[in-house]
Amino acid sequence: MEKEFEKYNTNLDVKFGHFERMDINELVKANTHKWFNQTLTKVNDSVVRLGIVEGEYHWHKHDNDDEYFFVLEGQLLIDLEDRTIELNPNQGVTISKGVMHRPRAPRKTVMLMVETSEIMPTGD
């Protein structure tokens, strides 16, 4: 299973402290990965992460944590066991803890995610 995760560039370090300005466009321009995840900042017990994605993630769930996705550009499809949620720019959704899901992006997509700082992005 570890090999599967090697294609994901996941950075759990907090890139920006409080009062530091974040330029999402600059981060997007500098990215060279198909599936990139960077923790931007910590807000109380949660983190805000930037995702720049293209292609499919794997099916997974988070037993103890909800997860929020908000699309800035592109399109994110989140497959659930019984349906698919389509998110376009300026749309978001919360996936409840314990729900199996698979995010996928048919083209380059930029999104923000809000989740607890303890969550493991690859699932439990």
Contact 49, 110 (CB under 8 A): no
The token pair at 92 is 């978001």
Q: Residue 5 contacts by C-beta under 8 Å, 6 or more apart in sequence?
A: 122
Q: Over 70: is that where the pLDDT of 6 sits?
A: no
Across 1-26, average pLDDT: 83
Q: Over 60: is that where the pLDDT of 5 sits?
A: no
Contact 52, 25 (CB under 8 A): no
- At the top level of CATH, the class of 2-116 is mainly beta
Its pTM surpasses 0.95: no
Residue 67 is predicted with a pLDDT of 95
Q: Residue 6 contacts by C-beta under 8 Å, 6 or more apart in sequence?
A: none
For the stretch 73-83, pLDDT in tens is 999 999 999 99
Question: What are the residue boundaries of the structural domains of the chain, listed by start?
Answer: 2-116
Judging by DSSP bridges, how do beta strands 46-56 and 35-43 pair with one another?
antiparallel
